[in-house]
Structure 1
Amino acid sequence: MKFKAIYLSAALALALASCGTAKITAEPITITAPITAKKAPLTETQEKRWSDLDLVKDTIPGMSVDRAYELLKGRKSKKVIVGVVDSGVDVKHPDLAPVIWNNPKEIANNGKDDDNNGYIDDVNGWNFLGDAENENLEFVRIMKKGDDGSALYKRAKAEYDKESKEAKAELQKIDYIINANNKIKAELKKDTYTAQDLQNLKSSDPLINELKPQLSYILTQVPMSELEKELKEAKDHFEDQLEYNLNPKFDGRKIVGDNPNDINDKKYGNNNVIGPVADGAKHGTHVAGIIAQTRGNNIGGDGVASNVVEIMAVRAVPNGDEYDKDVALAIRYAVDNGAKVINGSFGKYFSTHSDWVYDAIKYAADKDVLIVCAAGNEGMDLNKDGKTAERYPNDSKVGGPEIADNFLTIGAISYNYGPELLADFSNYGKQEVDIFSPGVRIYATTPNNNYEFLQGTSMASPNAAGVAALIRAYYPKLTAPQVKKIIMDSGIPVGIKVNLGGDPRDTRSFSELSRTGKIINAYNAIILADKVSRGK
């Protein structure tokens, strides 16, 4: 009996140890001396996973995810469902398929609502856009309703006039460059050329000579293939804007079949969470990959929380502005079906039914769900001159107090620790942005078994959501407000001056660009989560 008793005690001790009850004694990362940014370009490996790296060790301002996993070795975790409210997710991507949420109460493809949640065959999530792909921007939808004499209409019409003019001008510039590029290739009799080839070219064509200096410089920075890819993407973007986003004659909602101005009209959409066109799910698939693509398989990037999450795909973001109704119902869907973290990499500057979204955020707060959102890519101060910019979704009615304590707003940083730390596109704001995380050239999954570098606060937000999911997986008793506070409190404070909007003539201390003046650090967050979970 003694042997048995000793054996059981040893087994119990081993079980307790494997449950991760041991206190974490590591000290958090702090900056105790000036850090010199890497001057040389990142290696290919570093660039593909720089979010995982460490500011002090690598002089790259990643989130120290690798070091966080060292702390978590041998500790027990609980699967966390992360709702990705986005353009759709390629749930068949091999690097995501193992972590896609499967509704345990739904029988696939039987045409029934088995779990009685109002959605038929919602096995991996729900598509609130149905077969719709393109959509107007919100100010166009407002303007289309007609001039009612309101200040909202006047603001919408002014924005439409400005954006339409700018889109046409930008498309004209791009066509100008593409035309010059084609002429250069014809004169050189080459399908591809270098900066040196261009500099050696003696041409009588005024268009070539006008653009030769700019193109020569660009080709010293990127290869020809990258230049042409960017030109095509830019052309597609502005053509899309003029054909769909800014076109008052285009009706993208008709195909959905609902009334977007009736929050009680809920029976719409379908269970195809990829969407009608796989490439249309590029944004959402990339976001999902940042959170959950497989770690350590030497394919693509490394998801922040791939070992401990399930991705619930909720399609609600078209090519254009999302509807408030879809966002509100998407949040509620994710909450009701078990998500503990929701990522929202979208936003707009006009809203006609913001109260529906505020109510959904408060509903998520009541159910202990953390919402993580992107701050936006306009390179603007959301609190300029003490005024709060209207940007949606948010957790406070313009200039008012926060409506809930479960909402994190994330700005983007680059891998250049120094004046270029703030991503040149990232919005910032002493009150409206909570904290920053990596958002420049992030490598992750895209549809049809592909991977790409994309950038934006859309990429910074899932990096933050991944850290939140990591905390909730290993410390499931911590509440959403506690996880939010841990992420903000454990970030690394940065006091250096940085360029605003990429302009070296316009600088500000990084500490003044958000509520915290910090960048997210997963290693520090786990250390603090361990302390908070122990009541310290």
Structure 2
Amino acid sequence: MKLRNLFIAALIVAALLLPPLIITQADLGYRLPQTLLKGAKYQTGEVIVKYKPTRKQRLALKKKSKKAVKNTPDFKVIKLSAGESVRAALKKLRKKKTVEYAEPNYLRQITRQFKPNDPWFWPAQWGLYNHGQLVWGSYGVRDADTDLTEAWSIERGTKRRIIVAVIDTGIDTGHPDLVNKLWRNRKEIPHNNKDDDKNGYIDDFYGYNFAGISQNYLDSVYFLGKQVDDLTSTYAYQSITGTGGYLSQLSLRLAKTGRPSGDVRVALRSSLDGAELAAFTIKQWEIGDYSDESSVTTITKNFSSKVKLTDGQTYYLYLSTTAASDSNYYTIGFNSGEATEDTESSSKSFSTKLSDAATDPYVEGKFKYWEGTDWVEGEDLDMFFQTNHTSNPHDDNGHGTHVSGIVGAQTNNNIGVAGACPGARIMSIKAGSSTGIFQSTNVARAIYYAIKNKASIINLSLGGSGQTATERRAIKAAIDAGILVVAAAGNSGDSTIYYPCGYDGVLGVGATTNTDEIASFSTHNSVVDVSAPGRAIISTTPTYNVSFNIYNNYSLGYDFMDGTSMATPFVSGIGAVLKSRRPSLRGRKLGLAIQYISDDLGTKGRDDYYGFGRVNSYKAIRGDRGNPTTPVITSSTHPSQSKTYTKNTVTYNWSAKDRSGIAGYSYVFNQSAGTIPNKTIDARGTSRTFTGVANGRSYLHVRAVDSFGHWGKTSHRSVYIDAYKPRTSAPSASSARFNRQATLSYRVDDPYTSKALVIIKIKYGKSSFLKIFNLGYVPVNQLRGHSFKCDLPAGNYQFLVYATDKSGNKQYNVASNTLSVSW
């Protein structure tokens, strides 16, 4: 089959960022934009709200384990009343003291692929092995690839099968090149409508679908309950295809002109003239007034009962009203199927014409309306609709299937294509609709799902303008959980920063061609960390019809696409190969190992086009061949190695550097000067406090190991502790005659000093001291005597010996003996 080169149904996302907004809660750690960001799109009819926990909730949370609540979404989606704008709702909510933050439900989209000028096919997975072959009219440059074939000679990702969560438009679970590569939730029994593993998701055997069955692009309206001459339009329906899950909720976009006398009834049927399986009614007063397309409000209702939709079977969402009028009627939001210009955006690339991308994105259903005497099919029309979440991550767009194949299509099976990581397990999490539009809430929910189900890598081949606290917090939770988050930089060809690529800790990916040049569409800016093959990339496509198969002439099963969306899964797949080889690499350290050992192209060092370079899996697998620097050791409590300290609790800090990141440290603390620690990681942190340190000179020996297992040289730092209290003794009594010489014998013992300050005091009975001799610093650990002219009257006296060593430690005991004086 000749593969053809046309691009996927591209979708526009926008969103109006909020009016001036400040969030002061410390846990957000940043300030949201204070001005309107032109062009950012959001879901109308609803807002995201995060409430501050009440005192009762805070007490309840304390009783739960942090692990149990940490990665659970805690935001709420509030549906707005008819006619209420998002802007007005946010202004009202932000004034409430109980609200931590409120923001629009921003929309995300897949990074669009680009159609080449000359669609030629030649066996050409040049991103894996570039031998100069001709691909889409362009000869490649040898070795302008990711060196995966070389890397596979060492590791194919089968040593440990790494889970890669692909958050996208879903996956073709029956694709012959993917069916054996899917992650499976073995604790879940499929299709029993139960949450068997108690993870909060019902029947999530292959992953999950947060977008439901949906077509959420709107560019036009149609009438319901309108009288035109002798024709009435009181009925309309949208057919949908079941995916095996349960339908319980539906969102539609409606508005009204005038005051229609009848309500709108929505029924689910398995045949057009069949009985209602479930239904709900939307009251006239619940629907806002129509002014233009932007006023068509999203209305979400629960069906009267939950209905299981058989996989592959057609169902009908049947809309009806009881009266028709030429001035009082409803409007239904839908996709016209025509090429229209998108609303203006901050990025020029998002204001180009949609071309075929807007044509009938939901191929698995049709919109029809009743025109008085017969049903009329709107060619390429689809009503705006969105169902509840479901378990089946069915790909009704195609983008997610293509991305998944690049990550880990089954390899060496005599069919199709090879994946970057042959051993990877693909966790498919559908967050994008048939139109390729992603709500930021669904992106966040998908990330939390990946965390909860222990993915090691998250692939985000999607993006849009505008930051959200909801997405940022979810991504931070993933990074904190040790997950590598990889995201597409965008296809604008300019320096616009898109999100989620722009969030801290995310590994941003640009796209290269088969000649190692940056693709003309690849976005270039400060958040591009690495680049990877992204032009003329062949991978898996759905084996059933979706929009871009029919209208963009992509082939069923396999075809080429362009975009940073295609470059991103190369990096995710390489990350899986590397982590399979070196499981200790987690999260950011895995990303550092990939980015710092890439092939530096373009301007020397990091630049905004290639990042740190085009990824090289073979170099990453082999490691950087360099050793970490010798650690620098400091002490805040004992800063000098030449001084003597009496405090025997010592705190050390140390640090080392390496291009691939430091995996940990091995250390020994003893009283031997030249110890070399073994090659076992004792600490991943860079600080340690030792208590009860022995007297004398002790040594801390530290060495570092990088992410590839290379050990550096040992650093040694000493500390001298003298907490020993001198022992005094007066071994013999002394006698003397009045006005004759007397000698007082004493001894001071201290193994940790050479001299001590000695004071001898003489007293008679309980009287005060009669004589005090300050002998200064004298040698210790020997018997000594102090002689003086005894001018004391005859009698029996007591002499006492005091000592203080050079560290300031006072005597452990006060030694004493007698002095007898005679006339």
Please indicate the TM-score interval, normalised by the length of the shorter structure: 0.5 to 0.7
In 2, the alpha carbon distance for the partners of 1:103 and 1:493 equals 40
Q: Match of 1:120, SS?
A: coil
Whether the 8 Å contact between 2:601 and 2:610 is mirrored in structure 1 is no
> Unaligned regions of 5+ residues in structure 2, if any?
1-118, 133-139, 220-252, 254-292, 297-340, 362-380, 544-555, 626-705, 712-823
Q: Which residue of 2 aligns with 1:303?
A: 419
Cα gap change, 1:510 to 1:378, in 2 (>3 Å): farther
Whether the 8 Å contact between 1:170 and 1:238 is mirrored in structure 2 is no
Q: Provide the TM-score with structure 2 as the length reference.
A: 0.40
Q: Which residue of 1 aligns with 2:344?
A: 162
Cα gap change, 1:451 to 1:529, in 2 (>3 Å): farther
1:414-493 alignment to 2 at 5 Å? 414-417=513-516, 421-429=517-525, 431-448=526-543, 450-493=557-600
Q: Which residue of 2 aligns with 1:392?
A: 499
Whether the 8 Å contact between 1:111 and 1:121 is mirrored in structure 2 is yes
Equivalent residue for 2:147, pick from 51, 64, 78:
64
Q: Match of 1:519, SS?
A: coil
In 2, the alpha carbon distance for the partners of 1:124 and 1:365 equals 23
In 2, the alpha carbon distance for the partners of 1:170 and 1:284 equals 23
Alpha-carbon offset, residue 42 of structure 1:
10
1:354-369 alignment to 2 at 5 Å? 354-369=468-483
Say whether 1:371 aligns with 2:449.
no
Alpha-carbon offset, residue 274 of structure 1:
1.0
Q: Which residue of 1 aligns with 2:608?
A: 513
> Unaligned regions of 5+ residues in structure 1, if any?
1-40, 147-158, 172-233, 242-248, 257-267, 383-388, 397-401, 497-508
In 1, the alpha carbon distance for the partners of 2:558 and 2:184 equals 24
Cα gap change, 1:470 to 1:455, in 2 (>3 Å): same
Equivalent residue for 2:494, pick from 353, 375, 380:
380
Q: Which residue of 1 aligns with 2:507?
A: 408
Whether the 8 Å contact between 2:531 and 2:610 is mirrored in structure 1 is no
Cα gap change, 1:124 to 1:321, in 2 (>3 Å): same
Equivalent residue for 1:135, pick from 194, 207, 217:
217
In 2, the alpha carbon distance for the partners of 1:96 and 1:76 equals 16
Whether the 8 Å contact between 1:48 and 1:443 is mirrored in structure 2 is yes
Alpha-carbon offset, residue 136 of structure 1:
5.6
Say whether 1:114 aligns with 2:196.
yes
Whether the 8 Å contact between 1:304 and 1:466 is mirrored in structure 2 is yes
1:184-199 alignment to 2 at 5 Å? none
Cα deviations by residue, 1:124-146 (Å, 9 ceiling, x for unpaired): 00000111133369xxx9x9479
User: Root-mean-square deviation (CA), in Å?
Assistant: 3.4
Equivalent residue for 1:314, pick from 413, 429, 438:
429
Q: Match of 2:462, SS?
A: coil
Whether the 8 Å contact between 1:136 and 1:250 is mirrored in structure 2 is no
Q: Give 1:362's aligned amino acid.
A: K
In 1, the alpha carbon distance for the partners of 2:482 and 2:412 equals 31
Alpha-carbon offset, residue 59 of structure 1:
1.9
Q: Which residue of 2 aligns with 1:272?
A: 392
Alpha-carbon offset, residue 161 of structure 1:
4.4
In 1, the alpha carbon distance for the partners of 2:158 and 2:352 equals 53
Whether the 8 Å contact between 2:209 and 2:431 is mirrored in structure 1 is yes
Whether the 8 Å contact between 2:493 and 2:524 is mirrored in structure 1 is yes
Say whether 1:94 aligns with 2:176.
yes
Alpha-carbon offset, residue 350 of structure 1:
3.7
Cα gap change, 1:350 to 1:532, in 2 (>3 Å): closer
Alpha-carbon offset, residue 527 of structure 1:
1.2
Cα gap change, 1:411 to 1:295, in 2 (>3 Å): same
Cα gap change, 1:78 to 1:109, in 2 (>3 Å): same
Q: Which residue of 1 aligns with 2:635?
A: none
Alpha-carbon offset, residue 48 of structure 1:
2.9
Which structure has greater helix proportion? 1
Q: Which residue of 1 aligns with 2:664?
A: none
Q: Which residue of 2 aligns with 1:36?
A: none
Q: Which residue of 2 aligns with 1:346?
A: 462
Aligned-pair identity (%): 31
Cα gap change, 1:367 to 1:145, in 2 (>3 Å): farther
Cα gap change, 1:289 to 1:68, in 2 (>3 Å): same
Equivalent residue for 1:105, pick from 187, 194, 198:
187
Cα deviations by residue, 1:447-481 (Å, 9 ceiling, x for unpaired): 11610011100000000000011111111111211
Alpha-carbon offset, residue 72 of structure 1:
2.9
- Report which stretch shifted further, 86-95 or 525-534: 525-534
Whether the 8 Å contact between 2:349 and 2:493 is mirrored in structure 1 is no
Q: Give 1:109's aligned amino acid.
A: H
Alpha-carbon offset, residue 515 of structure 1:
7.4
* Greater Rg over alpha carbons, structure: 2
Say whether 1:287 aligns with 2:403.
yes
Cα gap change, 1:358 to 1:511, in 2 (>3 Å): closer
Cα gap change, 1:320 to 1:101, in 2 (>3 Å): closer
Cα gap change, 1:129 to 1:235, in 2 (>3 Å): same
Cα gap change, 1:416 to 1:97, in 2 (>3 Å): same
Q: Provide the TM-score with structure 1 as the length reference.
A: 0.61
Cα deviations by residue, 1:352-378 (Å, 9 ceiling, x for unpaired): xx1111110111012111111111111
Alpha-carbon offset, residue 160 of structure 1:
5.6
Cα gap change, 1:301 to 1:118, in 2 (>3 Å): same
Alpha-carbon offset, residue 298 of structure 1:
4.1
Whether the 8 Å contact between 2:512 and 2:519 is mirrored in structure 1 is yes
In 2, the alpha carbon distance for the partners of 1:302 and 1:82 equals 16
Equivalent residue for 2:443, pick from 327, 350, 353:
327
In 2, the alpha carbon distance for the partners of 1:369 and 1:169 equals 34
In 2, the alpha carbon distance for the partners of 1:169 and 1:476 equals 44
Q: Match of 2:214, SS?
A: coil
In 1, the alpha carbon distance for the partners of 2:148 and 2:588 equals 22
Cα gap change, 1:529 to 1:472, in 2 (>3 Å): farther
Cα gap change, 1:236 to 1:304, in 2 (>3 Å): same
Cα deviations by residue, 1:146-183 (Å, 9 ceiling, x for unpaired): 9xxxxxxxxxxxx96437xx999976xxxxxxxxxxxx
Q: Which residue of 2 aligns with 1:52?
A: 129
Q: Give 2:558's aligned amino acid.
A: Y
Whether the 8 Å contact between 1:432 and 1:514 is mirrored in structure 2 is no
In 2, the alpha carbon distance for the partners of 1:329 and 1:481 equals 21
Q: Which residue of 2 aligns with 1:77?
A: 159
How many residue pairs get matched? Answer: 357
